[in-house]
């Protein structure tokens, strides 16, 4: 029952291709509500940890950008509408506008198996930078 409630709370609308709002090769967008569940918090914390551990130089150079975006804030409405986001989501958006929706993987592993999450996210970011 918990898993079913969890999936409903953290579900979002899919998106196929959009333009990014930076010059980065890869934009990592973590969309969240103001009120967050434990799993949603774990996604953000572990995403930041992976970026800091493996991609610090790319963040510093601007090759990768990271944004945590509260979808409840009016100022973020344009971005959330662009990606049709309504709940917690983790997107890896390439400069050409194509993207990888990493949400389901993130929600499945970030809280309960953070080392697996780290491995999967690092691999996915590496693939998106190729």
- The pTM of the full predicted model, rounded to 2 decimals, is 0.81
Is domain 21-129 given the CATH code 1.10.260.40 in the classification? no
Cα dihedral 116, 8, 2, 73, rounded to 10, equals 80
Task: Specify the pLDDT at position 11.
Answer: 34
Beta-sheet pairing, 89-94 with 99-101: antiparallel
The angle formed by the CA atoms of residues 94, 67 and 44, to the nearest 5 degrees, is 105
Q: How many CB atoms lie within 10 A of CB 67?
A: 13
Tens digit of pLDDT for each residue in 52-103?
Answer: 999 999 999 999 999 999 999 999 999 999 999 989 999 999 999 899 999 9
pLDDT tens digit sequence for 100-125: 999 999 999 999 999 999 999 999 99
Q: Dump pLDDT digits (tens) for 2-48.
A: 333 333 333 333 333 334 455 799 999 999 999 999 999 999 999 99
Task: Give the domain ranges of the chain.
Answer: 21-129
């Amino acid at each position: 029952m918990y898993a079913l409630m969890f999936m409903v709370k953290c579900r979002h609308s899919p998106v196929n291709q959009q333009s990014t709002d930076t010059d980065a090769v890869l934009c990592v967008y973590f969309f969240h509500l103001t009120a967050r569940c434990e799993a949603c918090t774990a996604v953000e914390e572990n995403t930041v940890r992976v970026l800091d551990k493996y991609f610090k130089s790319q963040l510093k150079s601007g090759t990768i950008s990271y944004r945590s975006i509260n979808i409840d804030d009016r100022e973020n409405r344009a971005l959330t509408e662009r990606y049709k986001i309504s709940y917690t989501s983790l997107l890896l958006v390439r400069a050409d506008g194509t993207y990888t929706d990493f949400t389901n993987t993130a929600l499945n592993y970030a809280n309960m198996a953070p080392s697996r999450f780290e491995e999967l996210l690092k691999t996915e970011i590496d693939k998106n930078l190729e």
